Structure formats: structure tokens, C-alpha cells
Amino acid sequence: MTTVAGVAGVLIILAILWEAFETVVLPRRVTRRVRLARLFYRSGWRLWGMASHAIRHRGRREAFLSYFGPLSMLVLFAAWALSLIVGFALVHVGFGSQLAAPQRQIGLGTDIYLSGTTFFTLGLGDVIPRSAAARAITVAESGVGFGFLAMVIAYLPVLYQAFSRREVRVSVLDAWAGSPPAAGELLRRLGTADREVLLASFLEEWEIWSAELLETMVSYPVLGYFRSQHDNQSWLAALTAVLDACAVMVSGIEAPSINRAPLAFAMARHAVVDLCQVFNTPPLYPDRDRLPETDRRRLWASLRDAGWRMREDEASMARLGELRDMYEPYVNALASRLLMPLPTWLPADGARDNWQRTAWRTIGTDHREPVARRG
């Protein structure tokens, strides 16, 4: 039994160290289907999502869902640490628990206690190894524990910096496309501005953002569960709105300034396809058309009023359908998986941007805000 315990302990240690390496250190997608972290997140998110359905209030439900990303990361770290402690304790058992503890009876509990104090580098000294093998195991565990804590300390700032960079662009889109973002509103505002100057830079920035989003979330998939500050914003909604806008530019708009739209569309589509692979989520067609013909006509009319020259021939409509089929099943699958609603093509009537609203009231035409009384 001691031999079995020792082998089991070594396997646990190797499995956890390899899992931590793939999750935190390795900067690429892991194609191996059986992974502890993937199983943890899939089962944990499924239970968390089921619990969220009991919350009727949208704001409270979004707040509840927003806890999962940070909390699951801490729970995963704790599970790794506990598994390593148990693994090293089993290795001690495999070598016959060669420990000295004057005030204790040597057993599995003593092995776990020594392993825990060694892993967290406490060095209390009330239980000490009394053989060369036990001392070697203790030294090895102290090195692993120190490295594990250093990895966690270094990982968190990198993760939150990546989250911050992602959310800056999501917040910027509020002034361009409304809240939540809508492709029709984005193109309308671009059409009324100095489009030749703004459109090319806008498409370039979002092409780069899509590439950064893909790279950071391939390296750190947990970022997919981190939700935006506002309930009506998300990285998925922003990416979908950009894809919608690019699809309209490529298929239905006549303007020389949109020649960068196919590049932005290609990068954004690449991102959603690869992210579906990261989250092991196959494409899923929407239950209903996101752009029925009546809304499509309204969208085209709105864009004509904004100054765009629109094509409405059969070939253009077929091209729009082809482009939508290239990304809508993927963004719909991610929306279903992450419980993030997809944006509409047209903004809701009377919708206000987030910058036009406060916790007290919506800004009116005079743009005056209530001021707290002094004293």
C-alpha cells in the first residue's frame, strides 16, 4: 500500500504541474481533450449558469455571473495547491513516513501537515524529516511551493492587464456604436462624420483589437468569463457589432474608404472561430434571424439618410448572407456558452449611450447633472 501511495502521489504532482504549465505558462491553445482545468471550468460554469437562471433581475444576474471568472481562478489555484500538498504527503507515505514528531503520532495526518507547512514555506519545525529521502522530498516541495506562489503572484497582474486592455476598446465603442453596440448605429455615426479620415483608422484599430483579443484569450481562456463593467456591454457584443458592420460594408456600401473592411472582417472572423475551439463550443445557428428583411430595409434606409451609397441588388444581398453565415453560428455558440446576449443590428428606439446616463437619471437635452449638496 505504501508503494501504491507513493506512485499515486508522484502522478498527482506531475499531473498538477503539467496542468498549471499548460494553463498559465504555455502561450498557445492546448488541443488535448482531457484536461483538468477544462473539466473544472465546463462543470463549474454549467452549475453557475443554472444558478443564475433563478435570479430574475437582469442587473443582479449579471453581477452574479461576473463573480465566476475571478472566483473560479482563485478556486482553481487553491485546488492545485491542495492537490500538490496531498501528492507530496502521499510520497512521504510511500517512503514510510520517515518523520520525527515528538508531540504527534506519525500517520497520514502528520504527512499532510508537514507537506502543507513545507509547501507554504512556513518551516514551523515541530515535524521534521529524519531520513535522506524525506529531506529530499521536503526540499523539493519547498521549491515547488515557492515557485507556485511566485507564478500566482506574477499571473494575476498579467491577467488583469490583458482584461483592462480589452475593456478599454469595448468602452470606446460606446460612443461609436451605442449601448449596447449596434452595427447600424456604428455605420450611421461613421457616415455622418468625416468618413474618409475616420473609417480607415477605425477599421485598423478594430482589426488589431481582434488580433489582441484572440491572442490573450488563447493564452488565458479564463478571460472569456470576465464580464464588462456595464450590463449592456461585452467583448462578444463588441466583436459581433464590428463583424456585422464589416459585412454590410463589404456587401452593400459603395465607397473607396471601406477597402480595409475585408481585412478587419477576416481578423474578427478568425477570432470567433478560434475562440469557439478554445471553449470547445461547436457552431450553433441562431433560432431566429438576427436581421429579418424588414429590419434590413430599415437599416439600408438609415444608412442612406446618413450619406452612404447603398447597393441592394440580388448579388449584394447574397453576399451579405454568405458573410453572415461565416460568423453568426460561431458568435451565437459563444453567446449561448457564455450567457452573453448578442447585439441587434439596429438600436432600440430611444436608446441612450452609457455616457448619457448616470445612477440618478438620464441626461436631457441640457446635459445638466445633479450635484450633491455640500456640507
Binned at pLDDT 50, 70 and 90, residue 372 comes out as very low
Percent of the chain topping pLDDT 70: 92
Same-domain pairing of 172 and 252: yes
Residue 22 forms part of a structural domain: yes
Buried b (16+ CB within 10 A) or exposed e, 202-237: bbeebbebbeebbebbbbbbbbbbbbbebbbbbbbb
Q: Which of 120, 153, 186 is the last residue of a domain?
A: 153
Same-domain pairing of 288 and 168: yes
Binned at pLDDT 50, 70 and 90, residue 360 comes out as low
Residue 8 forms part of a structural domain: yes
pLDDT of amino acid 192: 64
Please compute the mean of the pLDDT values over residues 131-152 and round it to a whole number. 90
- In angstroms, the CA 207 to CA 265 distance is 8
Same-domain pairing of 111 and 200: no
Residue 203 forms part of a structural domain: yes
CB 286 within 8 A of CB 209: no
pLDDT at 367 over 70: no
Same-domain pairing of 174 and 85: no
CB 137 within 8 A of CB 129: yes
Same-domain pairing of 9 and 139: yes
Lowest-pLDDT range of 59-63, 173-177, 324-328, 367-371 = 367-371
CB 167 within 8 A of CB 143: no
Residue 363 forms part of a structural domain: no
Q: Which three cell numbers stand for residue 248?
A: 454590410
Residue 364 forms part of a structural domain: no
pLDDT of amino acid 123: 75
pLDDT at 320 over 90: yes
Same-domain pairing of 146 and 269: no
Domain count, the chain: 2
Same-domain pairing of 142 and 162: no
Residue 132 forms part of a structural domain: yes
Same-domain pairing of 126 and 247: no
Among residues 265, 355, 346, the alpha carbon closest in space to that of 305 is found at: 346
Q: Which of 94, 129, 153 is the last residue of a domain?
A: 153
pLDDT at 251 over 70: yes
Residue 304 forms part of a structural domain: yes
Please compute the mean of the pLDDT values over residues 219-229 and round it to a whole number. 91
Domain hosting residue 97, numbered range = 2-153
pLDDT of amino acid 194: 65
Q: What does the CA dihedral 232, 233, 236, 237 come to, rounded to 10 degrees? A: 60
Same-domain pairing of 108 and 205: no
Q: Which amino acid is at 153?
A: I
Same-domain pairing of 161 and 149: no
- In angstroms, the CA 196 to CA 142 distance is 61
Please compute the mean of the pLDDT values over residues 188-207 and round it to a whole number. 79
pLDDT at 1 over 80: no
Q: What does the CA dihedral 128, 133, 137, 142 come to, rounded to 10 degrees? A: 50
Q: Regarding predicted confidence, which is higher, 293 or 99?
A: 293
pLDDT of amino acid 373: 42
Residue 106 forms part of a structural domain: yes
Query: Rounded to two decimals, what is the model's pTM?
Result: 0.85
pLDDT of amino acid 257: 66
Same-domain pairing of 139 and 189: no
Q: Which of 97, 119, 153 is the last residue of a domain?
A: 153
pLDDT at 197 over 80: no
What does the mean pLDDT of the chain come to? 87
Residues 325-345: tens digit of each pLDDT = 999 999 999 999 999 999 999
Q: Which three cell numbers stand for residue 96?
A: 514510510
Contacts of residue 171, defined as CB under 8 A and 6 or more positions apart, other chains included, come to 228, 229, 233
Please compute the mean of the pLDDT values over residues 52-80 and round it to a whole number. 92
CATH number of the domain that 28 lies in? 1.10.287.70
Same-domain pairing of 10 and 24: yes
Under the phi-then-psi rule, with left for phi > 0, alpha for psi from -120 to 50, and beta for the rest, what region is 57? beta
Contacts of residue 2, defined as CB under 8 A and 6 or more positions apart, other chains included, come to 93, 94, 95, 96
pLDDT at 368 over 70: no
